[in-house]
Amino acid sequence: MEIDEAREVRTTCPYCGVGCGVLAKVAADGQVSVRGDPDHPANFGRLCSKGSALAETIDLDGRLLHPEIHGRRAGWDEALDLVASTFSQTIAEHGPDAVAFYVSGQLLTEDYYVANKLMKGFVGSANIDTNSRLCMASSVAGHRRAFGSDTVPGTYDDLELADLIVLVGSNLAWCHPVLYQRIAAAREKRPEMKIVLVDPRRTMTADIADMHLAIAPDGDVALFTGLLAYLGQHNALDRTYITTHTTGFGQALFAASVLDLAGLAAATGLSEDELGRFYSLFAATSKTVTVYSQGVNQSSSGTDKVNAIINCHLATGRIGKPGAGPFSVTGQPNAMGGREVGGMANMLAAHMEIENPEHRDRVQRFWNAPAVAGKPGLKAVEMFKAVADGHIKALWIMATNPVDSMPDADAVEAAIKACPFVVVSDVLARTDTVRHAHVRLPAAAWGEKDGTVTNSERRVSRQRAFLRVPGDALPDWRIIAEVGKRMGFGEAFSYASPAEVFAEHAALSGFENDGARDFDIGAYAGVDAEGYEALEPFQWPAPSQGAPLWPAGDLPLKGGDRLSWPSSPIHNVAKRKQSAKLPISPLEGEMAGRPEGGAQAGGWPEGVGTTGLQARFFANGNFFTPDRKARFIAIRPTTEIRTSPDYPLILNTGRIRDHWHTMTRTGKSPRLSQHIAEPFVEIHPADAQRFGIGDADIARVSSPRGDVLVRALVTARQRQGSLFAPMHWTDQFSAKGRLDTLTAPLTDPISGQPALKHVAARIEKF
């Protein structure tokens, strides 16, 4: 795409799953400025500290600008030929499962799509997994168990319509700040809205909460199974909904009812009074949204936690309705987009199932592929174990830094070092992972490439280039396609632009999709370069034709029209119709007369959250299971404590407000580093006294796998018996602060997501 540097370009933030719209501009002197996009339905002009500082993170310092082979500069042809020939040779000698891709929620959907197509359709292995495995895999597994599909039922509007928001394992104020601001603004307008925070720590999010339940680590299953039992005992069930739209309720209620209130109090670490007040509030409030994030997902019981939450919403019929539903908030900017194209080792493209022969056949025919992988591949933790034990002999890591971010990071680093052939495509020249690569491929960065991302509410938005690509860097989709061509799959990878990739992805989603599959953006299958460039944010599904996915009700269906999902009162319908060459529905027409833009000073646009037009899944049932009913999952309340006399504390890991992942981007901004300048560990005053730790002391935190040196922060915000430390610092930014050298490769048995929030540890003064 031609870069017009005088123009303000509409793009999206590359950080969290809120998916805020950003306006970026390059001034005549080369200075880049960014501001929130007032017309983007996720943020209406707002940005958090990280988004506001984007311009400070895009200099070329430290960039990988040319391909390198064994540390020497190389040309693209030489590097790509080497990657293609080595992968092909490895496959020929050891089979397709001897190679693997480890990809990233930072990739754009088009990148993800091409990588997945190459591995699952043409290599014939499903050994492609993503760092999103560390982020929301348990939500995916929970959705699929309950709904038969990975469908997030809610939208951001629901947060403004709810009378009760239950935030579970989510420090929204720091990790999804603009969503937090939306809730705060809604609460200011409707002070009667109640907010409950379930978190072992009293985080900044507690400031907005009416009730903070300082739950014991991994006490969530007990909390929500107890809630299901309470709802049954107190006649707070929607029996009509249960009978009509679900199966398995009796077994789920039976399993949930094994503990009495005293037992639940012991399992959750909460008092009986706290449990009673929360349960009665939930039971009495129809419009309830339960928002959950990594505190739920990053657990060895993450999938059960997700289903325990969903069970409560199914039991009360609070799903798919305005202001009601379970709502998984994703950590990364494109975790959802990666899921859509099959970027996880256990999924096919377009939410099709790898274990389903019909789905495999459909994908194979659509791609005209030689062999679609017939079984799930290795999930992230298993994948690096397979690298360590020599089963994987060629590994391609894209846009992520597993040497610092994977659990048991030292073991992962050793595995990568021992792997016979490692390719890393990245923006930076010297991350802890890049330095172990035999071949380094320079990737285009945010601001330099075009594509799409999908945020937590299923909203697809464009990322657009506004900077020239430096050096020899290329967008990831193109690098992968070039390798695919050199491996002999030329025709299937002959894309000329990301628009072509997106159009194919959209076409596959609608291919032989009669409504039995949730993900469908077939309406965009014919999008051309001009339409792609002008693409407005939209929410899926957006089917191209045929019967509506859902029968009548409060869904916006009109006659024989295609199903339409108007996403916001400020949707720029006329522009989209004109430039994207897409039909609009009567409902969108109704909305077209409304003013565009219009973020109001000091608040969100009027009408947001009040239209009732927002498409919601499952309002009338019709899930994606064979009988179209949602499934209750029978879950028994359990707790698992992994402490021991040697490691008597539980270490919880997470994010802080102004840094992102391993700081490869936010670490460039002095402003962002001012918020918290060094790695730290939070410890309760009683624990500090017990272990002889003073405030601001340097402390050694150890687990059976390693130790770090961090500043002690003694605070009653921290739950007694637990520690909290942020995940961001690496050896590049701190002498010995690489936190994931402590975390364990212990995973949820269903989702494969690592239990990054429950690590047995000890602390001592350094």
- Piece of 8-16, 229-237, 418-426, 677-685 that binds ligand SF4 (CB under 6 A): 8-16
Asked if 21 touches ligand SF4 (CB under 6 A), the answer is no
| CB of 157 or CB of 697, closer to ligand SF4 | 157
φ, ψ (nearest 5 deg) of residue 534: -95, 5
**Coil, helix or strand for 558?**
coil
With contact defined as beta carbons under 8 Å apart, do 661 and 679 qualify? no
Among 9, 13, 444, 474, binds ligand SF4 (CB under 6 A): 13
Asked if 177 touches ligand SF4 (CB under 6 A), the answer is yes
- Piece of 13-21, 381-389, 511-519, 734-742 that binds ligand SF4 (CB under 6 A): 13-21
197 bridge partner residues: 167, 212
| CB of 16 or CB of 663, closer to ligand SF4 | 16
What CA–CA distance (Å, rounded) separates 114 from 164? 41
Q: Tell me the closest approach of the beta carbon of residue 171 to ligand SF4, in angstroms.
A: 13
Per-residue tokens: 554: 């409060």
**Which residues, 6+ apart, have CB-to-CB distance to 328 below 8 Å?**
136, 139, 143, 152, 292, 293, 297, 306, 456
By 3-state DSSP, what share of the chain in percent is helix, strand and coil, each rounded to 5?
Answer: 35, 15, 50
| CB of 174 or CB of 617, closer to ligand SF4 | 174
Among 9, 10, 11, 16, binds ligand SF4 (CB under 6 A): 16
Q: Tell me the closest approach of the beta carbon of residue 17 to ligand SF4, in angstroms.
A: 7
| CB of 432 or CB of 536, closer to ligand SF4 | 536
What CA–CA distance (Å, rounded) separates 189 from 196? 18
Q: Tell me the closest approach of the beta carbon of residue 21 to ligand SF4, in angstroms.
A: 9
Write out the binding residues for ligand SF4, residues 70-99 only, by CB under 6 A: none
| CB of 177 or CB of 217, closer to ligand SF4 | 177
Q: Tell me the closest approach of the beta carbon of residue 204 to ligand SF4, in angstroms.
A: 14
- Piece of 12-20, 159-167, 534-542, 720-728 that binds ligand SF4 (CB under 6 A): 12-20
Q: Tell me the closest approach of the beta carbon of residue 15 to ligand SF4, in angstroms.
A: 3
What CA–CA distance (Å, rounded) separates 251 from 257? 10
Q: Tell me the closest approach of the beta carbon of residue 538 to ligand SF4, in angstroms.
A: 18
Q: Tell me the closest approach of the beta carbon of residue 657 to ligand SF4, in angstroms.
A: 10
For 608, half-sphere exposure in the C-beta direction (CA atoms, 13 angstrom radius) is 27
| CB of 16 or CB of 352, closer to ligand SF4 | 16
Asked if 446 touches ligand SF4 (CB under 6 A), the answer is no
Q: Tell me the closest approach of the beta carbon of residue 708 to ligand SF4, in angstroms.
A: 26
Size of site (CB under 6 A) for ligand SF4: 14
User: CA–CA distance from 89 to each of 72, 95, 120 (Å)?
Assistant: 23, 9, 17
Write out the binding residues for ligand SF4, residues 660-689 only, by CB under 6 A: none
Identify the CA nearest to 47 among candidates 59, 61, 33, 32: 33
User: CA–CA distance from 385 to each of 395, 409, 419, 438 (Å)?
Assistant: 12, 12, 11, 20
Decide: residue 205, CB within 10 A, 0-12 exposed, 13-18 middle, 19+ buried: buried
**Which residues, 6+ apart, have CB-to-CB distance to 579 below 8 Å?**
530, 531, 533, 534
- Piece of 41-49, 490-498, 565-573, 689-697 that binds ligand SF4 (CB under 6 A): 41-49
Q: Tell me the closest approach of the beta carbon of residue 609 to ligand SF4, in angstroms.
A: 18
| CB of 177 or CB of 320, closer to ligand SF4 | 177
Q: How many angstroms from the chain centroid is the CA of residue 709?
A: 30
Write out the binding residues for ligand SF4, residues 44-73 only, by CB under 6 A: 47-48, 50-51
Among 53, 137, 166, 178, binds ligand SF4 (CB under 6 A): 178
Alpha helices in 53-204 (DSSP H): 76-94, 109-116, 137-147, 156-161, 172-175, 177-189
With contact defined as beta carbons under 8 Å apart, do 406 and 412 qualify? yes
| CB of 205 or CB of 301, closer to ligand SF4 | 205
Among 9, 15, 446, 481, binds ligand SF4 (CB under 6 A): 15
Among 9, 10, 11, 19, binds ligand SF4 (CB under 6 A): 19
- Piece of 11-19, 278-286, 297-305, 508-516 that binds ligand SF4 (CB under 6 A): 11-19
**Which residues, 6+ apart, have CB-to-CB distance to 556 below 8 Å?**
563, 564, 565, 566, 585, 587, 613, 615
Among 43, 116, 132, 702, binds ligand SF4 (CB under 6 A): 43
First to last CA, the chain: 54
With contact defined as beta carbons under 8 Å apart, do 477 and 451 qualify? yes
**List of residues contacting ligand SF4 (CB under 6 A):** 13, 15-16, 18-20, 43, 47-48, 50-51, 176-178
